[in-house]
Copies of this chain bind each other. A is one copy, B any other.
Amino acid sequence: MTGTERVLARLDASFDDAEKRWLDWLRIPSVSADPAHAPDIRRAAEYAVAQLADLGFTASVRETAGAPCVVAHHPGPGGDAPHLLYYGHYDVQPAEPLDLWKNPPFEPTVVEGPHGPRVVARGSVDDKGQVAMWLAAFRAWHAESGSLPCRVSVLLEGEEEISSPNLKPFVSANRDELAADAVVISDTNMWDVATPALTTSLRGIVYIQVDVKAANRDLHSGMYGGSALNPINALVAALGQLKDETGRIRIEGFYDGVREVPPEQKRQWEALKFDEARLLGDIGLTTGAGEAGYSALERLWARPTCDINGVWGGYQGPGSKTVIPAAAGAKVSFRLVEGQDAEKVIAGFERFLRARMPRDARLDFTVFGSGTGVAFSTSDRFVQAAAAALKVEYGREAAFVGCGASIPVVETLQAELHAPVVLMGFGLDDDQPHSPNEKFEVCCFRHGARAHVRLLGLLG
């Protein structure tokens, strides 16, 4: 029996204890959005500090301008063992609407499901459950060996569900303390219950509000139609040209830096046999939109997009009103992939619009957010170790998947710490993390904890 195998055996033998600690943490309603829960937020942080101190970490609650962070350090075995920073968050989404919960959200309930028992509670998976998973792995290593096989630091935040307003300043101010060889995060999903996944690319986003103003007041379309500029017509005519008939975005330079998915990655994605028809069927659609000539997963993970997220202007009420309005506006976002330059996309979009605005149309251009896409090399040593740990644990290859959305925390940590980020998550698509009856499969928790034991063993 190897060291790792003994640790896994100990984890399995004490699994009830690991589950109990997970459920105890879930009983603390650490809702970051609601100031009334500030004491619970602190309690949840202190609970984590106590767990970590118990395992030989130097752990403390650290103040920020908002909810506190938890920072902990374990020296590991010394020598040239790598230094890993585990990030997670102990805050949870609000539980409302409460009447849709079958059990009280902060009284975790074990329910039998198609994959065996599952824990239903707010935070069961997002993210207390996934953090409790790697805490259980640490505990098993500590119990078996009296230490951890790697040097380990921990950073937990309490504001992830409210967009992490204080994370960047905190990490920036403590950059030296938090510096590590790699960041490990469990806050993503598996491909399916039998197929583990590592998320190796995230799309970025730029989000822009466009306001077009024309006359100094609303006008009668009979009296002025044919003479006065209509800002809705102008806005719609310009935005209507953003894509060509193949779905390709027509902004000059927009695709600069976008790389085709490498053939090997493409083959792996094809092997996942992603069922786009099912994804679309669930939402009442039949046909994939987006760029022609790309597979569904490429369109979702590896190709940039342009979506008009909002549009407004003139009369929106019942019946008719013959108005040429004074103004119109839209919110437009572009999902970006690694290699694109967000600032260049923004500038290109602004030029695209200005070139199409009639005289007298006054264009206001407001950028609400901008982040480039990120991609982690699948040949990175830490990503490879995680893939190996998952393969042994599940008996099948981990899928290298992308994520169509951005995860701002990942961008922040990568930008501040310049370390590769291993996104090894064990959620399932039906976990409903922000909805009533959030759940986490016990089998996912158990395999997840075991995979974290293996990862530490492989890297140590």
Contact = CB atoms under 8 A, between A and B. Distances in A.
A47 to B, nearest CB: 31
* Size range of the chain A interface in the assembly: 35 or more
Given A216-B283, A238-B240, A333 B328 contact: no
A320 B207 contact: yes
A230 B308 contact: yes
A320 B222 contact: no
A205 B290 CA distance: 37
A323 interface: yes
B230 A240 contact: no
Interface string A278-291: 01100111111111
Interface in A211-264: 214-217, 219-230, 232-233, 236-243
A359 B309 contact: no
Interface string A288-325: 11110000100110010111111111111001111111
Nearest to A298: B226
A203 interface: yes
A328 B276 CA distance: 24
A358 interface: yes
A126 B320 CA distance: 23
A331 interface: yes
Interface in A378-411: 403-406
A212 to B, nearest CB: 11
A160 B324 CA distance: 23
A247 to B, nearest CB: 9
B289 A228 contact: yes
Contacts of A280: 227-228
B308 A236 contact: yes
Interface of A: 203, 205, 207, 209, 214-217, 219-230, 232-233, 236-243, 276, 279-280, 283-291, 296, 299-300, 303, 305-316, 319-325, 328-331, 333, 335, 358-360, 368-369, 403-406
Nearest 5 A/B pairs, CB to CB: A240-B240, A222-B405, A216-B284, A226-B299, A310-B314
10 contacts: A203-B222, A214-B285, A221-B333, A226-B290, A226-B404, A227-B296, A228-B289, A307-B324, A310-B323, A311-B311
